[in-house]
Amino acid sequence: MSSVRVFRRLLGVEHTVVEGVELVKDDKRGEEVIVAAVRPAASHALRCSSCRRRSPYRDAGDGRRRWRTVDLGTVQAFLEADAPRVTCPEHGVIVAAVPWARAKARHTLAFEDTCAWLAAHSAMTVVSALLRVSWRTVAAIVTRVVADLSGNNDRLDGLTRIGIDEIAHRKGHRYLTVIVDHATGRLVWAAPGRDTDTLLRFFDDLGPQRSKALTHVSADGAEWIHNAVKERAPQALICLDAFHVVQWATKALDEVRRGMWNKLRWQGKHGQASSLKGTRWALLKNIQDLTGEQKTTMASIAVTNKGLYRAYLLKEQLRYVFEAKGERGRQLLAPSLSGCTETPRSPGSTPCRA
C-alpha cells in the first residue's frame, strides 16, 4: 500500500487526493501539527455545497483553508486545500463543496462524527477536553451532525405507540414538548412550548395518514394533550403513564395524612397528632426502600391508625399493578381492598389481599 493511501486512510477522507503531508509549527497553538495538502477528486470538484450540483467556477474565494481532522496519535492534524467559489443555478455564488467536510464546517466528517458520538456517551466538558475544542464547538458540531442525519431518516415513519410529555429545559418555566416512540424508546420529535398548538404542530408534521396509524398514546393526563390527540388521532387509545398515576396516588396519600393530623389536633388528641408528624417520608417511600426505623413506624401506624395504613397499602398496590403488568395487574385492580390489613413483604409479593 502506498504512503498516499495510508495517509488517506489515517486522515479518514474519501474521494480526496493527498498531495503532500508535513509537520509544521502552528504559531497560534504553539505546537507542531500535521498538515495534509489535499484536493477533491475530479468527480467531486466544483460542486455546489448546498445541492452538490456541478457548477461553473467563479473565483478563488478566500484562498486556501484548513479543516481540523482526527488527531494522529497525540498530534493535531489538519487538511489544507483551496476553497474556490462556484455559481450554482439554484443557490447563486457559493463556496464549492469538499468531500471531506459538511458545508460551512471547519472540521472534517470524521472529526465531527467522532465528536457527536462522544457527546452522546459522555459529558460535553469531557468531549471538549479530549478533542481540544471548546464546548460551543461541540454543540455546533452536534447540531450539524443531527441535521445531516435527520435528512436521511424519517423519525416519524412507522409510529404506532407514542408517549407525550413536557420537560423544563431552563429557568423561567421554559418547556419542551417531547414525543418518544415506545417501540424503540427513541425521541422522535421535540419543540418549545407545552400547549395544544405545540402538539398540533407535531401532528402537522406527522400528517393525517400516519396519524391514523397511531394505536396508543401515553400522557400525563394534561387536558391540552388529550384535546390534541382526540382531534387528530381519535382512534388512538389514550393511556395514563404509570409514573404520573403513582405520583397522584402518593399525593392523595399525603393529603390523607394531613387530613388525619388536622382532625386529631381539632379533637384535642395532640399526642396522636404528634406521632403522625414524622411519618411523611415513611409513607411516601416504596415498601422495599424503607429503613429499619421506618418499618417500625409503619408497624405502629398499622396498629394505631388503620385508615392511614389502608391508604398506604392502596398506594403500594397501585404501584405493584404496574410492576406486575398483564393479566396479573388486571387481577390486582379487580378485588375490593377493604380487607387490607398487612404490609407487603417484597416487591414480588402481593401488597394486600381482599
Grid cell locating 204: 402537522
Strand residue runs (E) in the chain: 16-26, 31-40, 57-59, 64-72, 75-82, 85-88, 92-95, 161-170, 174-181, 186-192, 216-219, 237-240
Angle 5-14-105 (CA atoms, 0-180°, nearest 5)? 130
DSSP 134: -
Beta-carbon contacts of residue 257 (< 8 Å; ≥ 6 apart): 276, 279, 280, 283, 308, 311
Summarised one tens digit per residue, pLDDT across range 40-59 is 999 999 999 988 899 999 99
Helix (H, G, I), strand (E, B) or coil at 116: helix
C-alpha 265, offset from chain centre: 47
**pLDDT score at 335:** 56
List the end-to-end C-alpha distance of the chain, in Å, as a whole number.
78
Strand residue runs (E) in 258-326: none
Of the candidates 159, 161, 10, the residue with the CA atom closest to the CA atom of residue 79: 10
Question: Which residues, listed in sequence order, are joined to residue 37 by a DSSP beta bridge?
Answer: 20, 80
The position carrying cell 476553497 is 83
Q: What distance in Å separates the CA atoms of residue 267 and residue 269, rounded to the nearest whole number? A: 6
Confidence grade of residue 288 (pLDDT, cut at 50, 70, 90)? confident
**pLDDT score at 108:** 94
In the chain, the amino acid numbered 258 is R
Report CA-CA distances (Å) from 178 to 89, 129, 200: 39, 30, 12
CB 263 within 8 A of CB 336: no
In the chain, the amino acid numbered 170 is R
**Top-confidence residue, 350 or 267:** 267
Confidence grade of residue 336 (pLDDT, cut at 50, 70, 90)? very low
User: pTM to 2 decimals?
Assistant: 0.56
Grid cell locating 97: 463543496
Helix (H, G, I), strand (E, B) or coil at 112: helix
Q: What distance in Å separates the CA atoms of residue 17 and residue 58, rounded to the nearest whole number? A: 22
Summarised one tens digit per residue, pLDDT across range 106-119 is 999 999 999 999 99
Helices 124-131, 109-121: axis angle to 10 degrees equals 150
DSSP 132: T
Report CA-CA distances (Å) from 177 to 105, 158, 173, 217, 284: 30, 20, 13, 14, 29
Lowest mean pLDDT, pick from 52-61, 139-148, 265-274: 265-274
Section 148-173 average pLDDT: 82
Grid cell locating 141: 458540531
Total Cβ atoms within 10 A of residue 239: 14
Grid cell locating 350: 402481593
